[in-house]
Amino acid sequence: MQFISRRKKFNTNPQAELYGLPLQFYGQPPLENISLNEFETFAVERLKLLKTTENLGVSYVKQSDQYTNKMESELRNLNFPYRSDADDRKVVQGPTEYEKRRKDHISHFILRLAYCQTEDLRRWFIQQEVDLFRHRFNDLQAPQKLEFLHRNNLQYDTTSVEEKTALKRELLNSSNTVSGITVEGQDFYKVPFQDALDLVRTRKVYLKAGYVYIPHQDIVTIVLNDFRTRLSKALALTARSLPAVHSDERLQPLLNHLSHAYVGQDYSIQKNVGKISLEQIDSLSGKSYPLCMRQLHQALRENHHLRHGGRMQYGLFLKGIGLSLEQALQFWRSEFVRGKVDADKFDKAYAYSIRHMFGKEGKRTDYTPYSCMKVILSNAPSQGDHHGCPFRHSDPELMKQKLQFYKVSPSGISQILELVKGMHYQLACQKYFELTHNIEDSNFSLSHPNQYFVESQRILGGGKDIKRETDTPKRPQENSVAKGSTAARETSANASQDLPEMQEDLDSFFQDA
């Protein structure tokens, strides 16, 4: 039997057909006009959903009850479709469910634009979308699954009754058939084995003459392979159209920012100015710095110099933890003059960029400390650089040596390296946090080096030390992305027009010194 032959006519309204099920293959891009505000809100909320998907994927066994419950609650909180038991034909008329499906559709395509730009971004996006898709496909009821396959022209043959009877014993022995359901009582799909390598590898299916026989409940594996392949091709195609998208001055900074965005607090506003003295820095670097900053601090102390990328990354971090401009100038000057730079040269060549960082030069922008995503994804370090994220940019063997040097236990090192191997860099860093602070569960989702510092201080100070307020105001650019829907609703079209100017300001600053 071929599904395509059973394809039937659905609602004649193309939009209603597209949103007829809580899940789709995202084969057709949205064609309607949407406001910039809606564009931003949808993108931010999907990004939050994908980040939660990543976190849950490494914290729980995928498809376990805990994983499923938490995924469901996140989908519900962010207003994405999650109910599989609704009668979709009625639902299409209900504005709420319709709106959720519309948001799911549009937000997926917006993030495609933002995440098609580099190989790293594409890989991350595909992995999270595939995990999300798996959860949502499994959540569909059996008839909805069939209808989904149907609508998407997935032409898998079901085996005939005669063939099932002839292979009954083999099918029973080789498949994880649901208890209570007989071989006769369920469909088996006959699929070329190369399309089901995961199932072959785990010996979950019967393989004969180049075909595998997949019980209905395992068809998700095949659908996922198909989804992954389509998405990967679609991202490559989208990347080709980027020059056109980049020519739109409203969208380009927003998309760039989305791909580097983290969904969390902003650390540009200095709440702790003056709370940290320069004498404390060495000890803080050992206790409360994330690895990226620890290695920058160490390199600065050893070489009495850091190249531009390192000065930016570390300088903004220090500003975020509470160094005043005067302290920062003193800190950098005292270190640089121990090396090859004299005080006069420092004042001429470096002091300007430190004042710039604090918004006292140029366009007087108050620059934000870099988020993990920015550190991980942009400006990879080259020979002689010390910036970047060690979990992303260090060789695994070097990483292992560093962790040994920092007295992380062998089993802790293996756990961290395993996460690094799976490209879960922030989770590897979070594991490092847990191991070095002797806690089981850090209870936060790491997205920023300054967040690492604040959380560390909170633990080391028994919950009392440097504690940032959650309602910290945000910079216009990162702000609207981080705050999500509220910010997006409040962002006017004029504010969006400020973005390119701000980007330009940043870019010109990055080229300084």
Question: 20, 81, 264, 290: which one contacts ligand SF4 (CB under 6 A)?
Answer: 290
Q: Is 322 in the site for ligand SF4 (CB under 6 A)?
A: no
Nearest approach in angstroms of CB 381 to ligand SF4 is 12
Exposed (0-12), middle (13-18) or buried (19+): which is 125, by Cβ within 10 Å?
A: buried
Residue among 132 and 292 whose Cβ is closer to ligand SF4: 292
Q: Sketch the per residue contact string, 59 through 78, with ligand SF4: x for CB under 6 A, - otherwise.
A: --------------------
Residue among 240 and 405 whose Cβ is closer to ligand SF4: 405
Q: Sketch the per residue contact string, 142 through 161, with ligand SF4: x for CB under 6 A, - otherwise.
A: --------------------
Long-range contacts of 71-75 (CB under 8 A, 24+ apart): 71/132, 71/135, 72/139, 74/49, 75/49, 75/136
Nearest approach in angstroms of CB 260 to ligand SF4 is 12
Long-range contacts of 3-12 (CB under 8 A, 24+ apart): 3/146, 3/149, 3/150, 3/153, 3/154, 3/155, 3/156, 4/153, 4/155, 6/150, 7/150, 7/151, 7/153, 8/150, 10/151, 11/89, 11/92
> Rounded to an integer, what distance in angstroms lies between the CA atom of residue 183 and that of residue 199?
18
Residue among 18 and 446 whose Cβ is closer to ligand SF4: 446
Q: Is 292 in the site for ligand SF4 (CB under 6 A)?
A: yes
With left for phi above 0 and alpha for psi between -120 and 50, is residue 456 left, alpha or beta? alpha
Q: Extract the tokens encoding 316.
A: 């903004």
Q: Sketch the per residue contact string, 235 through 274, with ligand SF4: x for CB under 6 A, - otherwise.
A: ----------------------------------------
Question: 140, 372, 419, 435: which one contacts ligand SF4 (CB under 6 A)?
Answer: 372
How many of the chain's residues bind ligand SF4 (CB under 6 A)?
A: 14
**Start-end of H helices in 83-118:** 88-93, 95-115
Q: Is 375 in the site for ligand SF4 (CB under 6 A)?
A: yes
Q: Is 391 in the site for ligand SF4 (CB under 6 A)?
A: yes
Nearest approach in angstroms of CB 228 to ligand SF4 is 26
Tokens 């569909």: give the residue. Answer: 140
> Rounded to an integer, what distance in angstroms lies between the CA atom of residue 375 and that of residue 449?
9
Position 137: which residue type? Answer: F
Q: Is 291 in the site for ligand SF4 (CB under 6 A)?
A: yes
Residue among 320 and 449 whose Cβ is closer to ligand SF4: 449
Q: Is 390 in the site for ligand SF4 (CB under 6 A)?
A: yes
Relative orientation angle of helices 493-510 and 251-260, to the nearest 10 degrees: 70
Nearest to 324 by CA among 275, 394, 376, 386: 275
Residue among 150 and 308 whose Cβ is closer to ligand SF4: 308
Q: Contact, 78 vs 142, CB < 8 A?
A: no
Q: Is 456 in the site for ligand SF4 (CB under 6 A)?
A: no
Site for ligand SF4 in 107-126 (CB under 6 A): none
At residue 61, φ and ψ (nearest 5 deg) are -70, 125
Name the one range near ligand SF4 by CB under 6 A: 186-194, 263-271, 388-396, 405-413. Answer: 388-396
Nearest approach in angstroms of CB 212 to ligand SF4 is 40
Position 145: which residue type? Answer: K
Nearest approach in angstroms of CB 15 to ligand SF4 is 41
Q: Extract the tokens encoding 175.
A: 């498949």
Q: Extract the tokens encoding 490.
A: 């409040």
The answer for residues whose C-beta is within 8 angstroms of residue 86's C-beta and 6 or more apart is 22, 97
Residue among 211 and 314 whose Cβ is closer to ligand SF4: 314
Residue among 20 and 381 whose Cβ is closer to ligand SF4: 381
Name the one range near ligand SF4 by CB under 6 A: 37-45, 103-111, 289-297, 488-496. Answer: 289-297
The answer for residues whose C-beta is within 8 angstroms of residue 378's C-beta and 6 or more apart is 260
Q: Is 171 in the site for ligand SF4 (CB under 6 A)?
A: no
At residue 12, φ and ψ (nearest 5 deg) are -75, -15
Name the one range near ligand SF4 by CB under 6 A: 76-84, 191-199, 371-379, 503-511. Answer: 371-379
**Start-end of H helices in 271-409:** 281-287, 291-303, 308-321, 325-336, 343-349, 351-357, 372-377, 390-393, 396-405
Q: Extract the tokens encoding 342.
A: 């004299």
Residue 224: C-alpha distances to residues 139, 180, 232, 304, 500 (Å):
14, 26, 12, 52, 38
Nearest approach in angstroms of CB 102 to ligand SF4 is 34
Residue among 41 and 430 whose Cβ is closer to ligand SF4: 430
The answer for residues whose C-beta is within 8 angstroms of residue 253's C-beta and 6 or more apart is 477, 499, 500, 502, 503
Residue among 114 and 291 whose Cβ is closer to ligand SF4: 291
Q: Is 312 in the site for ligand SF4 (CB under 6 A)?
A: no
Nearest approach in angstroms of CB 426 to ligand SF4 is 5
Q: Sketch the per residue contact string, 408 through 447, with ligand SF4: x for CB under 6 A, - otherwise.
A: -----------------xx--x------------------
Residue 421: C-alpha distances to residues 142, 425, 476 (Å):
35, 9, 35
Its sign, for the CA torsion 449, 45, 229, 257, is negative
Name the one range near ligand SF4 by CB under 6 A: 189-197, 288-296, 340-348, 480-488. Answer: 288-296
Nearest approach in angstroms of CB 294 to ligand SF4 is 8
Binding site for ligand SF4 (CB under 6 A): 290-292, 372, 375-376, 389-391, 425-426, 429, 449, 452
